[in-house]
Structure 1
Amino acid sequence: MGKIKLYTLFMLVMLISAMMAACSNDEKVGEKAADPAELSGGDLVIDVQADPQTLDPHLGNDHQTLNVGRTIYDTLVYTDQELTMHMGLAESFEPIDDTTWEVKVREEVTFHDGSKLTGEVIKANIERLLDPAIASPVAFLFDMITNVEVIDEYTVHIETEFPFAPLPAHFAHPGGHIISAEAITADYAAMDEGEEPGSVINSNPVGSGYFKFEDRVHGQSVRVVKNEEYWGEAAKVDSITFKVVPEDLTRVAELETNTAQIIGHLNPSDVTRIEQTEGVKVAKEDSVSLAYLGFNNTKEPFDNELVRQAISMAIDKEQIIDGIMDGAALPAKGPLAPPVFGYSDEVEGLPYNVDQAKDLLAEAGYEGGFDTAIWTDDARIRIDVAEYLQSQLAEIGIRADIRAMEYGAFLDSITNAEHDMMIGAWGTVTADADYGLYPMFHSSNFGMTGNRTFYANDEVDELLVLGRQETDEGERLNIYKRAQEIIIEEAPLVPLYHTEHLAGLRDEVEGFWIHPSSLYYLRDVTIQ
C-alpha cells in the first residue's frame, strides 16, 4: 500500500473527532441526571455471577473485572448508550499526521492516592500495557503503538506503526483504564522482588474514578466508596458492594427481598417473574455481544472442518431463542452483531440442515458419531443452552456430556485449551470489527486474549491485519466481509445469538443503564 496522505486520514477520522470534541466534562451523555433532591446517598448492593479475575485493568478482560473497574478508574475517552464517543480524562484526542495522535489531558484530575494526572502517567500506563513482562491480555488493543512522547506536563503524542483510525475507540475500552503512576511503580518494585505482575494493583487498585476501592473478600464481594474529590460529576450513592452470588435464582430472591438492589446476568426465563412482582423491574439493552458454541480446533475431531460444519448445521438457533431466551435475542449469522461496524447483511451463516449435517459427519469419517463434552460455566442460561445443544447433536449421533463448572475454573480451562466444545461469549466493546474479530480469530491471540477456539488461518490473519491498517471505510468493510465469509465457512465456532442484556432492579433504583457492550454505568444511580 502506498503512503496514505494526511488529508485522507483526517477525512476518515472526521466522524470520530466530531463526536468527541464537544462533550462537557461534567456529564456522560445518555446517563440520567439526578434531581438534587435525590442525592441522599445510600449503600447499593449489586449481585453478580462471579468474582472479578483481577482489579488490575491491564490484566483482565472478563465481564466482572471490567464492571468493577468502571467505578474505580477512568479512560481517556468513553462511549455512551448510543455508542457516541466523548472526552473523559482527555480534553482532546486528535490526529496530527498519518501515524501520530496528540492527547491533551485534564489538568484538574487527581488519583485516589493524591497523585496528579499528567502526560507522564499516560505514558507509564501505555508502556505497561505493552510490556511483555506484564503479558496483558488487552495489549492487542494497543499493539500498533510504537512510541509515546511527553510533549509537556499535560500533552502526549502517541505514534502508531500504521494509520489506525479506531485508536480513540480502543482507549474507550476498559483495558485503557488509567492507573496511578505511583501504583504502577510499586507494582514493578514488587515484581523485582519476585511477585507476579499486578500483585500490588490487584490488592490496592488506585484510579481516578468516581468511586474508590474500600475492601475485597475474595469469592464473596468487592466494596467501593464514593470519591468525594472526583474531578467530574460525583457519584450519587455512598458505596457499592459487588456481591458474588453464582446462582441466578438466588440473585432473583435477593432482589425481591431487597437484599440486593440490582442483579446482573438476569436469566430471560425470569423476566416475566420480575415484571409481575411488585417493587422490582427489568432493565434491557440491545447488545453488541455474541454467544457461541466454540470448538477446540487443535483437538480431534474438531480439527476437521467437515465435523465443525456438520455441528453448525445441526443446530436450530431459532429454537434456542424462542425456547430458552424467551425471544430476548437475535439469531447470529456470523460473529458480528448488527450495530458493529463491519457487520454485513450479505454475510450468510451455514444453514440449519440435519440431513446435510449427517452427510458431512459421514464424509469426515464419523458416520456413527463420537463421544465428546460441552464445557460451560454454571450459569443456568448457559446450562440450558448446553442441554439443548446436547439434544440437537444427539440427532446426528454425537454423544456430548455437559461439564458445568464455576466461572473462574471454566475460564481457566478454556484459556488453557482443555475443552472439547464450550459455550462462550464475546462483547465487541468498541463497536468496531477490529475488536470483534482480531482478538477472537487472529492466531496471535490464543487463550486469554480472546481466541479460545485456537483457530488459525493465514488468510484470515492477513485480512485482520489489513483491516487494522486500512483507513478507507469502504475497503475496511470489504476486508471484514471477506474475513467473516472465511470464518463462517471454516466454522471454528457456531455463532448462536446476539443476546439482549438484562438486569433486575428495585423500583427505587433510578439512573442505571447498561452499555451495549454489557457493562453497567453506575455514577448516576440513586436509591429513592
Structure 2
Amino acid sequence: MRKKHGIIMALLCMLVFVLTACGGEKATTAPAEKDTLVVADGASPTSLDPRAANNNVSSRVMVQIYDTLVEQDENIQIQPGLAESWEQVDDVTTVFHLRKGIKFHNGEELKASDVKFSLEAEKASPQTSEIMEALKEVVVLDDYTVKVITEYPFAAILNHLAHPASAIVNEKAVKEAGESYGQHPVGTGPFKFVEWQSGDSVTLEANEEYYKGASSIKHLVFKNVVETTNRTIGLETGEIDIAYDIDGLDKIKIAEDPKLNLVEDLDLSVTYLGFNLRKAPFDNLKVRQAIAYAIDQQPIVDTVFQGAAFPANSIIGPKIFAHSDKGIKYQQDLEKAKILLAEAGYKDGFKTEIWINDNPTRRDIAVILQDQLKQIGIDAEVKTLEWGAYLDGTARGDHQMYILGWGTVTADPDYGINALVTTKAMGAAGNRSFYSNPKVDELLQKGRATTEPEARKAIYEEIQVILQEELPMFYIIYPKKSVGMQKYIEGFKFNPAGHHRIYGVSFKAE
C-alpha cells in the first residue's frame, strides 16, 4: 500500500513539474516550430491599394506589403527607403536615386517609371490627392533616377513621400489587375499578399527576396476582432500574438498578466466630433458653439480611456510641429450652451444623430456625449455603421454629427490640418465636415510654400485660432495608444502614427 502511495505521489510530482515548466515557458518563449504571427485589429481594411484607402486599418496592413521612397522611423525621423539617397536641386526640385535590383512580389524589377506611375496616380485619386497636391511633375532621368518637382517650395515633401499612400506600386501589376488590384496588391515590402477573407482576415507571407533581408516571421495574419475585450481574450488564450488599440480595463488585465506585455505611448492623432456644415442646424455657428460648451472631456478621459488620454484643444496634438492652444477654450458651461441654442432658434433643442463606426471606444465616447447633450435639450441618437459604410456615408455627406479620429502621420501640420478642413479635400479626401473658408485655404497654401520654420509656425497657429472660432469640429481627446502582445514577442517598435511595422519582430524561441 505504501509502495502504491509512493508511486502515485511521484507521478503527481512529475505532473506538477511538467505543468509548471510548460507554464513558465509559455510565458516567455514561443514554440520552436511557430512561424505565424497573428495581429488583431478592430476593423478590416477597405482596400490594399495605397491610392484607394487612406485610413489607419488599411495602412497597418499596407506598410507590410509596400515600401516608400523614404521612411519615417519610430522617432519620426526621415530615413532612406527605396531611394538610397537624394538631393534637393532647388526650392521645388528633389532628385532621388533608387536602389538597384529591388524586386516587386511579381518578380518585376523596381524602376523609376514605377515611381512616376505611383506618385501621379496618388495625386489623381480622390482619396489621396491632398497628400500629393503640391506635386507638379515626376521626371524619369534613367531607370534608377527620378526627379520630383513641386508646384511651389514644399517644406513637407519628404514627410509626404513617407506616407503609406505614397507607397510605390508596380505599374504592370496595377494595369493587369484593373479594378481588382486593391484585393491583389503587389509591392516590394517585407511581406507578400496571400489571401483576403473579407471581414475576417488578411494573410501575408515573408518576402524571401526583401532587400533588407527576409523576415523571421514567415506568415503574418491580420484578424478583424472588433471588440477590445475579445482582442484581450485572444492574447490570454494565445490565439493572438499582438493586439492593437487596447483600451480601458483591458489594459490593466494585460499589464497584470505575466505572459503578456503592454506598450503604450501618445500617438499623433486627435479624436473629434465632426459636424456636417451642409445640414441644418449645424450650418449655424451658435449651434456648434452650444454643443462645444455642453461637453466635458474629462469623463471621457477618465472612464473610456482610464486616464490614457488628454483633453484636446486643437486640431493637431502636442507632438506635432506648430501645435498651439491659443484659440478659444471651450470649458463646459451648460447655461451658456442653452443661451446660444436659444439665440440660434433652438430654445427647446432638437433631434439629431451621432454616427460612429463599429468601434467600442467610439461607442463609449458617443454615449457620454449623448448624455451631456441631453442636458441642453439635444436628443442625439447614436447610429453605428460598419467601417466601409461609415466612410462611404460620411464622404457623401449623409451624416449629421460623427465621431472620427485623424492621425497626423507625417508629423507635419500640413497633413494634419489640410485634409480635414481645406475646401479641396471635401468628402472622401478627409474633410467630412464640408467646411470651407477661403482665408483658411489661403493660409494653408501659404504654410505649404513657406520653408522657414518660425514663419510656418506663425501661419499654422493662426489657422488653429480660426478653427477654434468657427468649429467645423470639436476636438475631444489626444489618445495614448496601447498595444498588447505576448511576452515572447521581440523587436516590436511602437510607431506614433499607428503604422506599426512587423518587419524586425521575432519570436523568442524555446
Please indicate, yes or no, whether the TM-score normalized by the shorter chain is above 0.5: yes
TM-superposed deviation, 1:345: 4.3
Q: 2:269 aligned with 1:295, yes or no?
A: no
User: What does residue 266 of structure 2 align with?
Assistant: 286
| 1:113 matches 2:106 | yes
Asked if 1:527 is matched to 2:507, the reply is yes
Matches within 5 A, 1:78-157: 78-131=71-124, 135-157=125-147
Q: Which has the larger radius of gyration?
A: 2
Query: Distance between the aligned counterparts of 2:506 and 2:294, measured in 1?
Result: 47
- Seen in structure 2, the aligned counterparts of structure 1 residues 39 and 346 have a Cα distance that, compared at 3 Å, is farther
Q: Would the alpha carbon gap of residues 430 and 211 (structure 1) be closer, same or farther in structure 2, given more than 3 Å must change?
A: same
**After superposition, what is the alpha-carbon deviation per residue over 1:448-492, rounded to whole angstroms, capped at 9, x for unaligned?**
111011111111111111111112221211111111111111111
Q: Deviations over 1:334-366 (max 9, x none)?
A: 111011112124345323222211111111111
Give the direction of change, closer, same or farther, for the CA distance of 1:136–1:171 in structure 2 (3 Å limit).
Answer: same
What does the per-residue CA deviation read over 1:392-412, in whole Å, with 9 as the maximum and x for residues that have no partner? 101111111111222222222
* 1:333-348 aligned within 5 A: 333-348=313-328
Corresponding position of 1:186:
176
Structure 1 Cα separation of the partners of residues 229 and 325 of structure 2: 37
Contact 2:102 2:211 (8 Å CA) reproduced? yes
Taking structure 1 as reference, are residues 183 and 496 closer, same or farther at Cα in structure 2, changes over 3 Å only?
same
**Helix, strand or coil for the counterpart of 2:371?**
helix
CA contact under 8 A between 1:121 and 1:181: conserved in structure 2?
Answer: yes
Q: So what's the TM-score if we normalise by structure 1?
A: 0.88
Other-structure match for 1:5: none
Q: For 1:211 and 1:422, how far apart are their aligned partners in 2?
A: 35
User: Would the aligned equivalents of 1:94 and 1:103 in 2 still touch at CA under 8 Å?
Assistant: yes
Q: What amino acid maps onto 1:494 in structure 2?
A: F
User: 2:160 aligned to 161, 164, 170, which one?
Assistant: 170
CA contact (8 A) 1:42 1:238 kept: yes
Are the counterparts in 1 of residues 273 and 402 from structure 2 also a CA contact under 8 Å?
yes
- In 2, Cα distance between the equivalents of 1:374 and 1:115? 47
Distance 1:422 1:465 in 2: 27
The aligned residue for residue 46 of structure 2 is: 53
Q: C-alpha separation between the residues in 2 aligned to 1:380 and 1:489?
A: 31
| Structure 2 contact 326–465 (Cα < 8 Å) conserved | no
Three-state SS of the structure 2 residue aligned to 1:162 is coil
How much does 1:53 deviate? Answer: 0.4
State how many pairs are aligned.
479
2:403, 2:459 → 1: CA distance? 28
Q: In structure 2, what is the Cα distance between the partners aligned to 1:176 and 1:152?
A: 20
8 Å CA contact retained: 1:41, 1:238: no
Equivalent position amino acid for 1:426 in 2:
W
Matched, 1:428 2:421: no
Q: Which runs of 5+ in 1 are unaligned?
A: 1-36, 191-198
Measured in 2, the distance between the counterparts of 1:185 and 1:93 equals 29
SS at match of 2:50: coil
Partner Cα separation in structure 2 for residue 511 and residue 421 of structure 1: 41
Does 1:496 find its partner at 2:476?
yes
Describe the superposition over 1:362-401 as per-residue Cα deviations: whole angstroms up to 9, x where unpaired. 1111111111111111221111110000111011111111
Q: 2:186 aligns with which of 183, 206, 209?
A: 206
Post-superposition shift, 1:185?
2.9
- Residue 454 of structure 2 corresponds to residue 474 of structure 1: yes
Report the CA distance between 1:38 and its aligned residue.
Answer: 11
Task: State the AA in 2 paired with 1:523.
Answer: Y
Q: Deviations over 1:115-136 (max 9, x none)?
A: 11121111111222233xxx34
Q: Is 275-284 or 65-74 further displaced after alignment?
A: 275-284
Q: What SS does structure 2 have at the residue aligned with 1:47?
A: strand
CA contact (8 A) 1:39 1:237 kept: no
More off after superposition, 457-466 vs 296-305 = 457-466
**Aligned residue runs from structure 1 range 54-69, under 5 A:** 54-69=47-62
- Which residue does the alignment assign to 1:14? none
CA contact (8 A) 2:313 2:325 kept: no
Q: Aligned to 1:235, which of 212, 215, 218? A: 215
Aligned residues: CA RMSD? 1.6
Superposed displacement of residue 146, structure 1: 1.3
**Partner Cα distance (2:432, 2:281) in 1:** 17
CA offsets per residue over residues 222-251 of structure 1, 9 Å max, x none? 100001111113322111111112222222
- Asked whether the 8 Å contact 2:228–2:250 carries over to 1, the reply is no
Alignment map for 1:435-454 (pairs within 5 Å): 435-454=415-434
Provide the C-alpha distance between the structure 2 equivalents of 1:147 and 1:274, rounded to a whole number of angstroms.
Answer: 49
Question: How far, CA to CA, are the matches of 1:347 and 1:405 in structure 2?
Answer: 33
Q: Tell me the residue number matched to 1:404.
A: 384
Task: Please give the alpha-carbon distance, in whole angstroms, between the structure 2 residues aligned to 1:349 and 1:332.
Answer: 10
Q: Are the aligned partners of 1:41 and 1:236 in contact in 2 as well (CA < 8 Å)? A: no
The equivalent of 2:68 in structure 1 is 75
3-state DSSP of counterpart to 1:338: coil
- Are the structure 2 counterparts of residues 116 and 39 from structure 1 closer, same or farther at C-alpha, using a change threshold of 3 Å? farther
Q: Quick one: distance in 2 between partners of 1:354 and 1:45?
A: 47
